[in-house]
Amino acid sequence: MRVVVTGGSGFLGSHLCDALLRRGDQVVCLDNLSTGDPRNVEHLMHDPAFEFMHVDVSVTAEVPGRVDAVAHLASPASPPDYLRQPLETLAVGSRGTENALRLAREKRARFVLASTSEVYGDPLIHPQAESYWGNVNPVGPRSVYDESKRFAEAVSVAYHRTHGVDAGIARIFNTYGPRMRPHDGRVVSSFITQALMGEPLTIYGDGKQTRSFCYVDDLVRGLLALLDSGELGPFNLGNPVEQTVTELAETVLELTGSPSPVEYHPLPVDDPCRRRPVITRAREVLGWTPEVGVEEGLRRTVEWFASRPTELSAAAAAIRGGQDESTPLPAGYLAAVPALRPGEPAAALPERRTEAASEPLSDAPASAAAPF
């Protein structure tokens, strides 16, 4: 197959590109690198089966030639990112999703949407099955991400029902692993970075809120199963093993051997208190279930982070004391890791790439096509 992956240079998108290429598919990666890292796909640039297009899918998602499937992963995904880029997040969830759907319709291709457990909001039902409609604040600070994904699901189903697009929806729960950005503000990357740098681990609230953490290799297997299935869903993809944030912090401190203390900060507005997926549908229909235990997955992730001391040192200032929508990335971090300058073209990428010149829509900033 020839598969288009939007947001393909990001954490999750780049792992999906790797998996598709390993099984013999061709991959076209679309990304504007607003939160992605070009180094995530640098090792693929000389593979004749891989093509990179520097493009904002909120503006255009045109791809010449045959396309058999479109995996739409483009979106800021961590709270600091989407709180700093609210309009871009809404644009990629709406216009970006429609552009990706138009591409799938034009090419008669399979379409898979990377949605999120955030569509459930701060859930009133626990654990969360796909039949739950959610408890989302439509005007809260997190609504730019939550509602963009809810709209993305709605427009995907509308294209399926109206135009016969072969669509599938994955609701992705907390995913972690190598290639996470140390400064992205997500709990696993923050804890590991802080522990390895000897900084205090920042816990929001009392630490009793729960999450369910899925290792990236398992999540990618789920996306591939959905891509190949022809099923609409939605399907919860995540690890149903639930643990508190405090338990996660304790595991990270044990794995790193860090003496870091723990600091507590106020719980962000609308932050969900409990999160655990019901994966019965994915298990029965897709034949998918996670295989990598949390401790093993964290061990692999810690090893990857530890191999990048320069990035960790530069990122420490960005996450010291926690992040919110007003927290800028420090100049020292951008200087130390120039490939991560937000919104800039991939100067570090080798020559095998395609520039897709396009003008942004007048009411949509052109910096939204970031990886999940």
Least confident stretch, 59-73, 280-294, 337-351:
337-351
What pLDDT, on a 0 to 100 scale, did the predictor assign at position 273?
81
- Confidence band of 166 (pLDDT split at 50, 70, 90): very high
Amino acid at 197: M
pLDDT at 331: 42
Handedness of CA 240, 243, 245, 250 (dihedral sign): negative
Q: Would the pLDDT of 261 be above 80? A: yes
Report the distance separating Cα 24 and Cα 21, nearest Å. Answer: 5
Report d(CA 325, CA 89) in Å as an integer: 13
User: Strand order of the sheet with strand 50-54?
Assistant: 235-237, 167-172, 110-116, 69-72, 2-6, 26-31, 50-54, 354-355
Q: By mean pLDDT, which of 257-271, 340-354, 355-369 is the weakest?
A: 355-369
Copy the structure tokens of residue 251. Answer: 């595991």
145 flagged as catalytic: yes
Please report the pLDDT score of residue 367 as a whole number. 33
- Residue 358's pLDDT is 38
- 175 versus 353: the higher-pLDDT residue is 175
* Mean pLDDT within 313-340: 54
Residue 212 has pLDDT above 90, yes or no: yes
How much is the mean pLDDT over the chain? 87
Q: Does residue 345 surpass a pLDDT of 90?
A: no
- pLDDT > 70: what percent of the chain? 86
The SS3 assignment for 133 reads: coil
Token pair 């009133």 is at which residue? 124
Distance between CA 109 and CA 101 in Å, rounded?
A: 9
pLDDT exceeds 70 at position 365: no
- Residue 319: what pLDDT? 77
User: Residues 120, 145, 159, 215: which is the catalytic one?
Assistant: 145
* Separation in Å, CA 83 to CA 51, 70, 71, 282, 364: 31, 27, 24, 31, 16
Dihedral over alpha carbons 35, 233, 221, 121 (to 10 degrees): 50
Contact status, residue 277 vs residue 173, Cβ threshold 8 Å: yes
Range 140-157 average pLDDT: 96
C-alpha 197/C-alpha 311 separation (Å) is 11
Cβ pair 15, 315 in contact under 8 A: no
pLDDT at position 321? 62
CA distance 365 to 57: 11
Rounded to an integer, what distance in angstroms lies between the CA atom of residue 136 and that of residue 156? 20
pLDDT at 255 over 80: yes
| Closest of 4, 3, 6 to residue 371, by C-alpha | 6
- CA angle at 30 for the pair 26 and 35, rounded to the nearest 5°: 130
pLDDT surpassing 90 at residue 139: yes
Judge contact between 119 and 17, C-beta under 8 A: no
- Give the mean model confidence (pLDDT) for residues 277-302: 98
pLDDT tens, position by position, 48-102:
999 999 999 999 999 999 999 999 999 999 888 999 999 999 999 999 999 999 9
Q: Is the pTM of this model over 0.85?
A: yes
Alpha carbon distances (Å) from 326 to 85, 159, 318? 11, 37, 11
Pairing mode, if any, of strands 69-72 and 2-6?
Answer: parallel
